[in-house]
Structure 1
Amino acid sequence: MPPLFGMALRNLFAHRERALLLFAVAAGASAVLVLTMALSAGVASAQRAAITTLLSGELNVGGYFKVHPDSIAPVMGDAGRVRQVVAPLVPTGCLLRERGRGRATAGLGRQRFASYLTSLDPVAERDGLGAFRLVDGGLDALARPRTVALSATVAEILQAAKGDQVTLYAEPVGTLRRNALDVEVVAILENAGLFGGSAGLLVSNGTLRELEGYRPGSASVLQLACGGDTSRLGDLDALGGQWREALRKAGFEVLPAERQAYGDKLVPMLREGWRGQRLDVSTWEDESSFLSFVTDGLGALTVLLGLIVLAVVIVGLFTALSVAVRERTREIGTLRAMGMQRPSVVALFMLEGLLLGLVGSATGAAAAVALCSLLHGAVALPGPLVSFFFSTTLPLEPGVGAVVLAVGLVTASACLAALVPAFRAASLSPRSAMEAL
């Protein structure tokens, strides 16, 4: 094998123009694959971060309460007791945070805008408020009663600024009454992740209770937050099952596991003729199921682009190596006349394809990783892409797995492309090869 390896290298240097072209094809294919997978992984990571910042925890326990069969509210009447049940099951290093969720219409003057509303505890979550990027004001002020933070989009539509008085209107599901609450704008936040036009209202839990008419001690949802470190969570579905079982043993009626967001369950349960309290345990993937089209679409695009790129590698190398076999007929005949066996001829051409694929793909992958490091956080995205990619900058996260996969696929494609030309070269007899020219 070492002599064949040396011969393969000499052949590549002897035909360096063709070798450089094929090297560039392999490098470009590998770079495209790494960049595409880095974008897909970056969007998936940004999506999870955006969801667990605003919409959901890693795991959630929420409630649905019906005073009578024709109305429903997304609330737990006795959140303290629920917390006591699930708190012992919280993984080390994580915490339970109280959040609120709903929908409201914000009004200022003649301007009106309907948006999803999120509430939090600005005192308990003081360390996590940095996840929201400020344009004006401060989120600490949400600790005051009757205050609100607006996204830049909502503030622009309402023509609102810090210090203005805005009226929030909420209509509990299944009721005819409409609650209204005057609140002060204490902060304007950048559009980022899920916080923007469709979800642009942020208030305190106390303000949400007052707006919706909930009694003290109630809460919309308790969320498991681990500060971005998910390594300690293990199997979320298994942990969710433990929470359900513990809540059932404590006497609560708990809904079965479903891959749906809480809002998707409201209307079906409104039609059901029960009353009282039911609890629901969901993962962040359940709560963001309506957004799965983004990562699914990027995954499908990655596969499609990968197939196209690998097809280009196979066709390009096959064509070039086939031409090389015809051009090197006398050389092959000489080697055969000197005693080189057919398996050695096959191995020689396969080595050339392997070297081109391996070195080219490794170089392309290294260049792609360097480019990702250079562009990460440096390329600002236009407004429409911010919502689609869940990030204000281009999210690129190349992983070791993506690099290994790209190099392996391109190298395997190069070897596959070299297979037929190698056997064609080996099939030449010494006499016919020498007589061909």
Structure 2
Amino acid sequence: MSNLLRIALRNLFIDRERGLLLFFLIASASAVLVGMMSLTSGVASAQREAVLTLLSGELNVGGYFKVHPDTIAPVMGDARRVRAVVEPLVPAGCGLRERGRGLASVGAGRHRGRSFMTSLDVTREPETLASIRLAGGSLEALDRPRTVALSTSLAERLRVKVGDVATLFSEMVGGKRNALDVEVVALTEPAGLLGESAAILVSNATLRELGGLRPEAAGVLQLTCAGGAEPGPLDDTFRQALRQAGFDVLPASREAYGDKVAPLLRENWSGQRLDVSTREDEASFLALVTDGLAALTVLVGLIAILVVMVGLFVSLSVSVRERTREIGTLRAMGMHRRSVVGLFLLEGLLMGLLASATGAAVSALLSVLLRGAIPLPTQMAKLFFSSTLPLEPHLPGAVLAVVLVSLGACLASIIPAARAAALSPRSAMESL
């Protein structure tokens, strides 16, 4: 084996021009694949952060309340009872935050706009407030009564700025409409494709006043974990515990809470029903982005590996023709056919491994250096949930790219290796 390794290494350095060209080809393929993996991972992380900041927790326990069958509100009438059931199930390092959610209209003068409204527990969510990008004002001011933060796009439609007064309109639990004059205290930057999903931000107290809710009512309890940790699959555990406590719990459904309102409104029931959803459920309408990037990464990977295989196949096929004397001489000296096959496979594997590892290392290093350094156009920033190119390389991804490219190089060597092994010792004499 050591002799084959020495011969293989020597042969890789004999034709340097061809070897360097092939090395660059394989390294480029590996670098592109690692770069696509870094982009896919970075977009997924940026999307997850935006969703957890504005839209959802890792797990959500929300409610739908109907005073009579013709009205519905995304509310839990007694959040304290629900919290008492699910809080003992919360993993270490995680906690429950209370939020509200729903649709609201906002007006200023003759201008009107309608969007999703989210309420925050301002005093207990400093990290959330710090992660929301602002165009002006301060989110801490939401702690004051009757205040609101609007997205820049909604503020432009209303032609309001920080310090102006607007009016919120929303439907109360019983179906009546209510209005509340509020001060605009902050303007928020767009959060990717979430768009208007959280264009109106208020405090829990302001939402209760607007919706005519009791102090013990809440929209949703959201499970969040420190350091971005994922708590694991707890949705079925939460559902079972809530059912055992006597609550009417909706079956699992991979839909956002807003998509469930219309079907539930058509059902002939009244009272309280609870719903347990995951982050993936609430962000299911965004799956197209990450799934599309993952599919594109697979496609790019297949093309890159195919290019490597074709390039190496051609190079080794030419090498077999040029090394007819060498192969015949080795066979005449007693080298077995399987050793000749092993020699060419080893050459392909070494070239693939060395070149792909180099390309992967360079690509990963560039991803680290360029992360957050390349600004993106507005539309692409929305798609990627980041104003700069979100690159996030991971060692397992780089190792996978090296393995796949090296395996492709090894497979491309099989046919040239078999042709080389088919040469007889007499071919060396005939080629003299």
- For normalisation by structure 2, the TM-score amounts to 0.96
The one-letter code of the counterpart of 2:309 is I
Query: 1:421: which partner in 2?
Result: 416
Cα distance change on mapping 1:174 and 1:430 into 2, 3 Å: farther
> 2:62–2:220: 8 Å Cα contact kept in structure 1?
yes
> 1:329–1:434: 8 Å Cα contact kept in structure 2?
no
Q: How does 1:88-107 map to 2 (within 5 A)?
A: 88-107=88-107
Q: Unpaired segments of 5 or more residues in structure 1? A: none
The one-letter code of the counterpart of 2:87 is A
The one-letter code of the counterpart of 2:204 is N
1:290 maps onto 2:289 in alignment: no
Q: In 1, Cα distance between the equivalents of 2:194 and 2:353?
A: 44
Provide the secondary structure at the position in 1 that maps to 2:198: coil
Query: 1:225: which partner in 2?
Result: 224
Q: In 1, Cα distance between the equivalents of 2:57 and 2:419?
A: 60
Q: Once structures 1 and 2 are overlaid, which stretch shifts more, 29-38 or 105-114?
A: 105-114
The one-letter code of the counterpart of 1:33 is L
Q: In 1, Cα distance between the equivalents of 2:153 and 2:352?
A: 49
Q: In 2, Cα distance between the equivalents of 1:171 and 1:17?
A: 74
1:182 maps onto 2:177 in alignment: no
Q: Unpaired segments of 5 or more residues in structure 2? A: none
Provide the secondary structure at the position in 2 that maps to 1:166: strand
The partner residue of 1:279 within 234, 255, 274 is 274
The one-letter code of the counterpart of 1:204 is S
Query: 1:401: which partner in 2?
Result: 396
Q: Deviations over 1:312-364 (max 9, x none)?
A: 11111101111111122122222222332222211111111011100000000
Q: Deviations over 1:351-401 (max 9, x none)?
A: 110111000000000001001101111122222122211222211111121
Q: In 2, Cα distance between the equivalents of 1:347 and 1:20?
A: 22
Query: 1:209: which partner in 2?
Result: 208
Query: 2:339: which partner in 1?
Result: 344
Cα distance change on mapping 1:173 and 1:409 into 2, 3 Å: farther
Q: In 2, Cα distance between the equivalents of 1:83 and 1:194?
A: 31
Q: In 1, Cα distance between the equivalents of 2:288 and 2:352?
A: 34
The offset of 1:173, in angstroms, is 8.9
Q: In 2, Cα distance between the equivalents of 1:356 and 1:326?
A: 19
> 2:108–2:158: 8 Å Cα contact kept in structure 1?
yes
Q: In 2, Cα distance between the equivalents of 1:128 and 1:263?
A: 22
Q: In 2, Cα distance between the equivalents of 1:198 and 1:382?
A: 21
Query: 2:14: which partner in 1?
Result: 14
Query: 1:333: which partner in 2?
Result: 328
Q: Deviations over 1:276-302 (max 9, x none)?
A: 000111111111112111111111111
Q: How does 1:113-152 map to 2 (within 5 A)?
A: 113-152=113-152
Provide the secondary structure at the position in 1 that maps to 2:253: coil
Query: 2:35: which partner in 1?
Result: 35
Percent identical among aligned pairs is 65
The partner residue of 2:355 within 360, 364, 368 is 360
Task: Give the root-mean-square deviation of aligned CA atoms.
Answer: 1.7
Query: 1:435: which partner in 2?
Result: 430
Q: In 2, Cα distance between the equivalents of 1:45 and 1:340?
A: 54
Q: In 2, Cα distance between the equivalents of 1:249 and 1:348?
A: 67
Q: In 2, Cα distance between the equivalents of 1:127 and 1:36?
A: 30
> 1:357–1:411: 8 Å Cα contact kept in structure 2?
yes
Q: How does 1:154-173 map to 2 (within 5 A)?
A: 154-171=154-171
Q: In 2, Cα distance between the equivalents of 1:130 and 1:106?
A: 25
The offset of 1:193, in angstroms, is 4.1
Q: In 2, Cα distance between the equivalents of 1:61 and 1:282?
A: 7
The offset of 1:128, in angstroms, is 3.0
1:242 maps onto 2:241 in alignment: no
The offset of 1:195, in angstroms, is 5.6
The offset of 1:246, in angstroms, is 2.0
The offset of 1:269, in angstroms, is 0.8
- For normalisation by structure 1, the TM-score amounts to 0.95
> 2:148–2:185: 8 Å Cα contact kept in structure 1?
yes
Provide the secondary structure at the position in 2 that maps to 1:123: helix
Query: 2:248: which partner in 1?
Result: 253
Provide the secondary structure at the position in 2 that maps to 1:218: coil
The one-letter code of the counterpart of 2:206 is T
The offset of 1:217, in angstroms, is 1.7
> 1:39–1:395: 8 Å Cα contact kept in structure 2?
yes
Q: Deviations over 1:119-171 (max 9, x none)?
A: 11111213431111222211111011111112222223323211011122224
Q: In 1, Cα distance between the equivalents of 2:402 and 2:96?
A: 43
> 1:255–1:278: 8 Å Cα contact kept in structure 2?
yes
Query: 2:199: which partner in 1?
Result: 200
The offset of 1:192, in angstroms, is 2.8
